[in-house]
């Protein structure tokens, strides 16, 4: 959270709706956003057992179009956009020349020469400037910050499909994970993407800002029988942590690489043009010295972001995310630790307010949804 004065904060087109629904508003990445409505625990459980609807219109959208748009995206993204057909998306990284994260993003191929990048809210201006600079020599590729053109609503949870289907003619059952389609939702022009940031099946819906209230209200009305509820950023964070999804600024940043963060699967080594590739090849050859791991607490206590991992009286790593999870009912977290301490079952000591507490490295994700009960084919549902 930030200390920015409320008067200076940006507001999404759903701001009045959040106020009317008694959302507790807080500063976040330059925006005034709802952190919770009825409570983080109840909202978290609603998404795991039914469905919840989120306003994520604070996210940024950057479009790249033109004859050389594909070459531009292949230069600035570590995953290979050449593997995408129109109507497909994937998770990727915007890397520095040192092979570390300037940001993470989802790349959508809207047309053969048109891409949409969804980036983190606090990084939009920096990402846009960086991308423009890096693709300036590519050729015919226009870069546009189109964030103001979109409101973004996420519907997540096992009841998502049944809630959304009555509102659209798009056949959602045919929409696989990390695929998207254009159509209407509640009479509003929309792009519907089967992506999310909760570990559940669900959809992210791009609509014009002036139609966001209509779509938001229609989703809640359609989901009334299933008790679909509005959900704030607080539960969004606990949900993504249970699913071990990385958060920029906590788990990944300009000091961490995809290989250290356990995200080597988003690096397309055959793409010889992306920025940071040489450094990542060097790191791959010599091996990383630290890894991001999942852990659960053995002793009582909750490890939080910034707490130190201690060995032989000295700090050897840092907790990047931590909470007591509403669904799993365990204290869990992620931390960077030396490679020799990264194997599941390894005990760690974490300094929690001056007291060393035991934790144990465990496999991730901590939570994995029942795919038989919530069928969605394709890639893991990872977005932001």
pLDDT class for 314, splitting at 50, 70, 90? confident
Query: What's the rounded Cα separation, in Å, for the pair 240 and 334?
Result: 12
Rounded percentage of the chain residues whose pLDDT exceeds 90: 93
pLDDT class for 374, splitting at 50, 70, 90? very low
Which residue spans of the chain are classified as CATH 2.40.30.110?
289-362
377: pLDDT strictly greater than 60:
no
pLDDT of residue 311: 85
Of 232, 206, 188, 231, the closest CA to residue 31 belongs to 232
CATH topology of domain 60-148: Alpha-Beta Plaits (3.30.70)
CATH topology of domain 289-362: Elongation Factor Tu (Ef-tu); domain 3 (2.40.30)
CB proximity list for 165: less than 8 A, separation 6 or greater: 172
In words, the CATH class of domain 6-56+150-242 is alpha beta
Query: Which range, 259-273, 303-317, 369-383, has the best average confidence (pLDDT)?
Result: 259-273
pLDDT of residue 7: 60
- Residues 17-64: pLDDT tens digits? 999 999 999 999 999 999 999 999 999 999 999 999 999 999 999 999
Query: What's the rounded Cα separation, in Å, for the pair 126 and 142?
Result: 17
Which residue spans of the chain are classified as CATH 3.30.1360.120?
6-56+150-242
Q: How far is CA 350 from CA 255, 261, 311, 315, 347, in A?
A: 21, 19, 9, 9, 10
Give bridge partners of residue 348 from the DSSP assignment. Answer: 359
Report how far apart the first and last C-alpha atoms of the chain are (Å, whole number): 17
275: pLDDT strictly greater than 90:
yes
Place of tokens 């600035």: 76
- Residues 125-146: pLDDT tens digits? 999 999 999 999 999 999 999 9
Q: Give the mean model confidence (pLDDT) for residues 145-171.
A: 98
Which residue spans of the chain are classified as CATH 3.30.70.1400?
60-148
SS3 breakdown of the chain: % helix, strand, coil, rounded to 5? 25, 35, 40
């Amino acid at each position: 959270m930030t200390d920015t004065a409320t008067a200076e904060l940006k507001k999404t087109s759903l701001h009045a709706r959040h106020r009317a629904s008694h959302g507790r508003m807080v500063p976040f990445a330059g925006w005034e956003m709802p952190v919770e409505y009825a409570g983080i625990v109840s909202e978290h459980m609603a998404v795991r057992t039914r469905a919840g609807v989120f306003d994520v219109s604070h996210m940024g959208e950057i479009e790249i179009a033109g004859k050389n748009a594909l070459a531009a995206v292949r230069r600035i993204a570590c995953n290979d956009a050449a593997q995408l057909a129109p109507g497909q998306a994937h998770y990727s990284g915007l890397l520095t020349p040192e092979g570390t994260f300037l940001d993470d993003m989802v790349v959508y191929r809207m047309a053969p020469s048109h891409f949409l990048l969804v980036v983190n809210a606090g990084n939009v201006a920096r990402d846009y400037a960086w991308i423009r600079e890096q693709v300036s020599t590519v050729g015919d590729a226009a870069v546009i910050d189109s964030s103001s053109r979109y409101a973004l609503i996420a519907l997540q949870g096992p009841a998502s499909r049944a809630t959304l289907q009555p509102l659209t003619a798009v056949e959602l059952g045919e929409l696989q994970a990390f695929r998207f389609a254009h159509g209407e939702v509640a009479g509003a022009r929309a792009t519907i993407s089967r992506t999310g940031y909760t570990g559940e099946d669900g959809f992210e819906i791009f609509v014009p800002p002036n139609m966001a209230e209509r779509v938001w209200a229609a989703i809640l009305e359609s989901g009334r029988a299933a008790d679909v509820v509005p959900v704030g950023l607080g539960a969004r964070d606990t949900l993504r942590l249970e699913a071990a999804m990385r958060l920029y600024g906590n788990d990944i940043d300009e000091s961490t690489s995809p290989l250290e963060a356990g995200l080597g699967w988003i690096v397309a080594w055959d793409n010889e043009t992306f920025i940071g590739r040489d450094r990542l090849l060097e790191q791959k050859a010599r091996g990383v010295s630290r890894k991001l791991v999942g852990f659960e607490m053995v002793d009582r206590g909750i490890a939080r972001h910034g707490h130190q991992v201690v060995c032989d009286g000295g700090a050897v790593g840092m907790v990047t995310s931590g909470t007591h999870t509403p669904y799993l009912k365990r204290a869990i977290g992620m931390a960077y630790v030396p490679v020799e301490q990264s194997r599941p079952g390894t005990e760690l000591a974490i300094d929690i307010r001056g007291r060393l507490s035991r934790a144990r490295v465990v496999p991730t994700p901590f939570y994995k949804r029942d795919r038989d009960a919530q069928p969605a084919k394709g890639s893991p549902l990872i977005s932001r």
